[in-house]
């Protein structure tokens, strides 16, 4: 992880790809509090850029539906349950192609971040990206 306080990454956009099935919302929290907690934790580490969170889950997993996510500023991406990893990997590659900022921060929240190692290595080779990994 690059130290943001002395680099271009401090103000760079932060895109979070979150596997909600593998890393579910803890009891007593809602999407809004999760968004604030992630933003606060990143700010404490010196990451102050615009934050976008893409939760990957079954939209039926939440009784209030996707409105909670959207009102919290998150874009809900409901992939097919059996293909969640493939969907996330494809979205990561698509993200690489469409994001043209010089510097970016990418955070992966997943139960086993090692599954994404090949995709993340490809990202690192193609563009200046700071990769942040989180797990439960």
Assess whether pLDDT exceeds 80 at residue 31: yes
DSSP string, the chain: ---GGGSGGGSS-EEEEEETTTSPPPTT--HHHHHHHHHHHHHHTT--S-EEEEEES-GGGSTTTTHHHHHTTB--B---GGGHHHHHHHHHHHHHHH---SSEEEEEE-S-GGGGHHHHHHHHHHS-EEEEEE--
Structure confidence at residue 51 as a pLDDT band (50, 70, 90): very high
CATH number at residue 18: 3.40.50.1010
Domain of residue 75, residue span: 4-134
pLDDT by residue (tens digit) across 77-114?
766 666 777 788 888 878 777 766 577 888 988 877 66
- Tell me how many domains the chain contains: 1
pLDDT at 78: 64
Tens digit of pLDDT for each residue in 59-68? 666 656 667 7
């Amino acid at each position: 992880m690059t130290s943001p306080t002395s680099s271009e990454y401090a103000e760079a956009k932060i895109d979070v790809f979150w596997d909600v099935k593998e890393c579910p919302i803890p009891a007593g929290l809602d999407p809004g509090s999760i968004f604030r907690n992630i933003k606060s934790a990143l700010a404490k580490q010196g990451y102050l850029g615009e934050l976008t969170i893409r939760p990957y889950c079954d939209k039926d997993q939440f009784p209030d539906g996707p409105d909670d996510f959207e009102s919290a500023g998150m874009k809900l991406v409901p992939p097919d349950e059996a293909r969640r990893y493939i969907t996330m990997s494809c979205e990561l590659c698509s993200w690489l192609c469409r994001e043209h900022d010089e510097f970016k921060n990418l955070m992966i929240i997943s139960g086993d971040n090692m599954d994404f190692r090949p995709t993340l290595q490809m990202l690192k080779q193609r563009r200046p990206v700071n990769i942040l990994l989180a797990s439960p």
